[in-house]
Amino acid sequence: MKNLIIVESPTKARTLNRFLGKDYDVQATMGHIKDLPKSKLSVDLEKNYEPDYQVVKGKSKTIKSIKDSSSKAENIFIATDPDREGEAIAAHVKEIVGNGKTKRIVFHEITKSAVEHAIANPGKVNVDLVDAQIARRVLDRLVGYKASPILWKKVRRGLSAGRVQTVAVRLIVEREREIEAFKPEEYWEIFVEVTRKGSIPKQVRASQSTKSERDDKAGIDSLPALSKKDNAVEKFTIQLVKIDGKKADIGSESQAKAAVGDLEKADYKVSEVKKRQISKNPYPPFTTSTLTQTASRFYGWSAKKTMTVAQRLYEEGLITYHRTDSTNIAKPAMDAVRKFIEVKYGSNYLPEKPRFYKTRSKLAQEAHEAIRPTDVNQEFKMTKKSFVKDGERLYDIIWKRFVACQMSKAVYDSTTIDVLAKTEKSPEYILRVSGQIMKFDGWRKVIPPRKASGQKGSPARWDEEPQLPDVEKDDELKKLKVDPQQKFTQPPARYNEASLIKTLEKMGIGRPSTYAPTISTIQSRNYVEKNEGRFFATPIGFAVSDFLVKNFENTFDYDFTAEMEDHLDEVAKGETDWHKMIDNFYKPFSKKLDDVEENAKRVAIETEKLGKKCPTCNKEGRTGDAQGELVVRTGRFGKFISCSNFPDCKHTEKYMDKIGMKCPECGNGDVIVKKTRRGRQFYGCSNYPKCEFASWKKPQKD
């Protein structure tokens, strides 16, 4: 008789089969085998909120196969993922198998040693984690299925409310209003390009250095020297920072001209040079939040894509479990990476003691680990060809982050140069330049300093920090050019995926498993649009957010939503009964539902008017106010043009979102924003299919 192991995915099953041998039969549930049906509420309000879980459509054959195999197995191990979702699947598998031989095993990496250790130390299904998953499903079902019908009556049919998704939309809507209300203020920055009047030989400068500077230098003599070019910097740019000892606040062109006039005539002399040695610690290892943020910044990936690729890496046995808010590192992994660093880079790159990082999330599951490679010496290799390129890129930053987090500090010489500019009659102007010169790279050996390439999604450039000139106090400088720059204060930036996830995490809203689906949902519902990587609230998003926040002020309050997450975590730790938690929420929520349905005013979705009359109304002989105007609306499949008299007039047209330039391929059609069937945005030609121009990146007019 064989031992049966039940997992969620076929890829995970194949990975386990590679090293478990012929004594084990591994089968996959293909995700959840039971869930709440979408066609009804599926929560019994009269019987203590009990959920009505049903077998997922199409899973009958999978269940039969698992039952048949379990009846012949000597031991049955349920090895679903180590989180609430995985625990819920485990509970449903145990319920269906109905066999006393079932055992729950948990591992955070799919490696031979981890799995064998789990098999040797089986446990039971964690009822508290299952209850926490049930509580979240019931809570979200009650909010969504009870509030959504009110949206249909008060805003528009087909809309939906979500406990976390509404809060995410609210953040984007409020940021949009901040931008709309923002009034830019003028200010000027003045830069001066200067050069040294005479060069002093370096050996002379070295002899003139102070004792403290020589001592600082001696402090890093034991570190390996970095190869650098001779310091031949002569020209450099300084910025005006003070006028007569006060901060240089220049708010008008006349003020700028006065300062420029003085600076054109002034004599320049170095007034102060501050040098100090500083060190920088490495970043902590990745959590779900920081991984999705980094992949967004480096590669322009959505949270959904990052999690999909990470899931594949995990199932292939390359990384530890990727849904985590912990920065813990297991001792064997810590020992292995420290040995790797010493052998690969040398003892100078290895700190005396291991580094430990404080987990930011107050409710992180400390039994979990940070996201790291399962074997620091393992080369990247995937069986699924379609994931190889993306998998390699994500694995690369996970590997680098893990290795770097246990390496020595990077050491820099930090320098600030102040320059005094003055004429006989002018005020005293202080101009400044600051910079750093790397003396020992430390962890930067693995993660060099990064400079943005300027194009979203383009490869990252890894460069050294710029050098500063070798000047000392009282050195005279020669002015080459004065460059006044008019600028205006900028409104707060719109959210991108990285900043939205960071904000949600900081506010305590959502958990590692919810970030990606939340962001996908608010886009698929057309509450927000992503343009050039930034989120813009749609008219539907404004209307839904305003209505729900105004009428359900507690339910969609930031602090209240965070508190509900805390209560769910209390259920997961066995500190709170989930039935009581749901009851405390639902009773006041139910009263609010009745009040809003009866008293709330209907909200109109603002539409963009195109300044054209409806042709269908015209054909039907409508005139004056009876003839509708063409407006832009957003429906289930995106934007379209319709009549303002809808539903009395059913006129519709296709909407083309033009970006204001002609097609670079045919030269006749307009470049328009389009979407794939899965909702991914791209740019195409309005003359399609005659012209098949298409680009993921926005074309530039030049």
Report the catalytic residues: 321
Token pair, residue 297, equals 């910044």
Helix, strand or coil for residue 8? coil
CA distance 293 to 210: 44
Taking a C-beta distance cutoff of 8 angstroms, is the pair 475, 196 a contact? yes
CA distance 615 to 622: 10
End-to-end CA distance of the chain: 70
CA 445 to the chain's CA centroid: 25
3-state class percentages of the chain: helix first, strand second, coil last, to nearest 5: 40, 20, 40
State the CB neighbour count (10 A cutoff) for residue 564.
21
Burial class (CB in 10 A: 0-12, 13-18, 19+), 172: buried
Closest CA to 419 of 275, 266, 276: 266
Taking a C-beta distance cutoff of 8 angstroms, is the pair 643, 631 a contact? yes
Q: Which residues is 663 bridged to in the sheet?
A: none
CA distance 275 to 454: 31
What's the angle, vertex CA 311, arms to CA 572 and CA 142, rounded to 5? 40
CA distance 90 to 329: 26
CA distance 23 to 1: 8
Closest CA to 171 of 650, 505, 462: 505
Distances (CA, A) of 374 to 21, 319, 601: 20, 5, 56
For 181-266, list the strands marked E by DSSP.
186-196, 235-243, 246-247
Distances (CA, A) of 92 to 34, 197, 273: 7, 80, 69
Which secondary-structure segment (H or E) carries 566? helix 558-572
Taking a C-beta distance cutoff of 8 angstroms, is the pair 278, 365 a contact? no
CA distance 368 to 320: 9
Taking a C-beta distance cutoff of 8 angstroms, is the pair 201, 430 a contact? no
How is 177-201 classified by DSSP, letter by letter?
A: HHHHH----EEEEEEEEEEESSPPP
Give CA torsion, residues 64, 70, 76, 77, to 10 deg. Answer: -20
Closest CA to 265 of 432, 482, 483: 482
